[in-house]
A and B are shown apart, each in its own frame.
Chain A
Amino acid sequence: MARPIRFYGKKRGDRRTGSNQLGRLWLGLFSGACLLAGIVPLVYILIEFAIPEWRVHHRFIHTTARVVSTEIVEWQDDKFSPEILLEYHLATRPDGDLLTARSDYEIVAVHSRSQQHWERPYVEEILAQFPVGSEHDSWYDPRHPDTIVLMQAYTWSAWLMLLLPVAFITIGGGGLIFVVLTWGKSTERLSAGSQRPSGLDLFQTPSRGGPAAQFPFVPDPDELGDSPGTLLAHRLPPAKAEWRLFAAVAFCLFWNSLVAFFLTSAIQDIRDGDPDWWMIAFVTPCLIIGLGSIAYVGRLLLIAGGVGPTIVEVSDYPLTLGGEYELALTQTGRLHIESLDVRLVCEEMATFHQGTNSRATVRRVYEQLLISRQNFEIHHGLPFEARARLPVPAAAMHSFQATHNRVEWKIVVRGAVQRWPDFERGFPLVVCPASGSGVPT
């Protein structure tokens, strides 16, 4: 029976039920807020800094301008900006009339007229480079020829600051995509990859139809999402590890964006000869954490992208205790493999809440080596392929899944690769009791 949305969790002893929809709604709102918090500064930085600077480098046209006069404009709070009156010919009309325009020295000042102000000595230093009557390389905007700059540099802090909104957009956008993709789907279905359902009621019965109905509390093979194979009948889906990578990348971007912001400020202070030691003391440990996160993400990306996909196919699915099957392994990439092992394993997993603690324990109770190869090369476009017998023991437990306890079968591929981190990939399997009797013979 369908349940209405419950707005608050209900406690049954130590077990609670609650509203997934409400949780997703909150996640959606949070993600939307993150997305907005990323888009607004991104648009601002793009319009005010990034696009104008890019246009100066790629769209503005070079000319030679003569300094007619200079002026220091005073703003509020004892801040100043340079103003240089230039005289120049448009490159498209070298013999045309001289054009006279005021330059604000660089494009950032042009676009942030009310904000880009400096101390008076710094402005005087700038103007000293441009004595009246001197000629200088300049760049003008073909769309608005009276916009001309004397500097063609990038403001690196602005470009680094782009990372901050990008991190927010990644987190917010990712969250929204997750909400959209998962809206209205049950926790059981969503967690089928990890085979971790929740909210097991006392009288819960599995879905009707298929092996799940025939074997209660055996995970539904359909929900693991196997697909047709190319070497054998079924291709096994890999265990869901993408979220770890996603979370690590999101953290790395977010953290390092913040670090970059503070680091830029600290470096600027050092360059100005006025180091802020408190800032340096604050930034240093943050920088170490940031570099650590980059190394970790790099390792994950190396494993995910560098090693190349691992494909495991089986001759029949789901498997049955006591059954004899065939397994095919395909490993792509361009690698020197020092060792590659493929095992059939069975693990027990138990989660427990004790007092205010909760934790999970895993214990391997069955392991059988199926394939073992040492020292070989995998060439680009020529993947390594191996086949093996896959005998499922008769005297063992079938796959089992409840709220706090489960028994999971999987194929584990473990490789040691020269000059790369070792990798281990799991491919969950569903193993049913022997058909009919359910009692191994």
Chain B
Amino acid sequence: MNAPAITLTLHDSRRVYRPGEKLSGQYFIETVDGAETQAAEVSVLWHTEGKGDEDIAVHFFDRVSHDERPGLDFRQPRVFSTVLPNSPLSYEGVLVKIRWCVRLRVFLSRGKQLVEERAFQLGEVPPARAVLP
């Protein structure tokens, strides 16, 4: 089976978004045999990274699948958009880092999954450095 080609793009090429702004984009999945893509989930989410266990929260979520919409053609671009929240802002801390991204999870036949991400920044909080005692 050839791996499908996933295209995930944000309409605005900027990396930095302001809270309350609209984020939109589109995705499409090209496969040799279009039927092998079972479902796709697009999420706008933040997750933490750093020394602690990962926290994650989904701000926007949309799932489309063949089960719900027979005849769905994943090769056709599918648009998504959401208004970004006021917080949490992207943050580059010492122990805690907050990362925003658009994540596309593609479910293939036989339980296989592919994940594609586009990172972006919400707000412009400068990186933090530890205060030495």
Contacts and interface: CB of A to CB of B under 8 A. Distances in A.
Interface of A: 14, 200, 202-204, 214-218, 345-346, 348-353, 361-367, 395-398, 400, 402-407, 432-433, 436-440
B126 A350 contact: no
Nearest to B46: A217
Contacts of B88: 216-218, 398, 400
Main secondary structure of the interface of B (DSSP, over half): loop
Contacts of B54: 404
Given A214-B86, A215-B87, A403 B130 contact: no
Given A364-B130, A397-B93, A437-B19, 11 more contacts: A200-B57, A216-B88, A350-B95, A364-B133, A366-B128, A397-B89, A402-B55, A404-B48, A437-B18, A438-B123, A440-B123
Given A365-B131, A397-B128, A439-B19, A216 B85 contact: yes
A321 to B, nearest CB: 9
Contacts, number: 132
B112 interface: no
Contacts of B125: 395-398, 440
A365 B124 CA distance: 17
A351 B54 CA distance: 9
Max chain B C-beta neighbours (<10 A), residue from A203, A351, A397: A397
A404 B52 contact: yes
B131 A439 contact: no
Interface size class of B (residues with CB under 8 A): 35 or more
Given A363-B94, A438-B20, A440-B124, A433 B57 contact: no
25 contacts: A200-B55, A216-B87, A217-B88, A218-B87, A348-B94, A348-B128, A349-B96, A350-B51, A362-B95, A363-B95, A364-B133, A365-B94, A365-B128, A365-B129, A365-B130, A395-B126, A403-B53, A403-B55, A404-B55, A407-B91, A407-B93, A433-B87, A438-B20, A438-B87, A439-B124
Contacts of B18: 437-439
B131 A397 contact: no
A274 to B, nearest CB: 56
A433 B55 contact: no
Interface in B113-133: 122-126, 128-131, 133
A73 B56 CA distance: 79
B23 to A, nearest CB: 14
5 closest A-B pairs by CB = A350-B52, A438-B19, A402-B55, A365-B128, A404-B53
A364 B131 contact: yes
B95 A217 contact: no
Interface string B44-76: 000010111111111001000000000000000
B8 interface: no
B86 A396 contact: no
B89 A433 contact: yes
Given A217-B87, A407-B91, A351 B52 contact: yes
Contacts of A202: 56-58
A206 B55 CA distance: 15
Contacts of B58: 202-203
Nearest to A433: B87
B104 to A, nearest CB: 17
B10 to A, nearest CB: 18
Contacts of A440: 123-125
B39 interface: no
Contacts of A353: 53
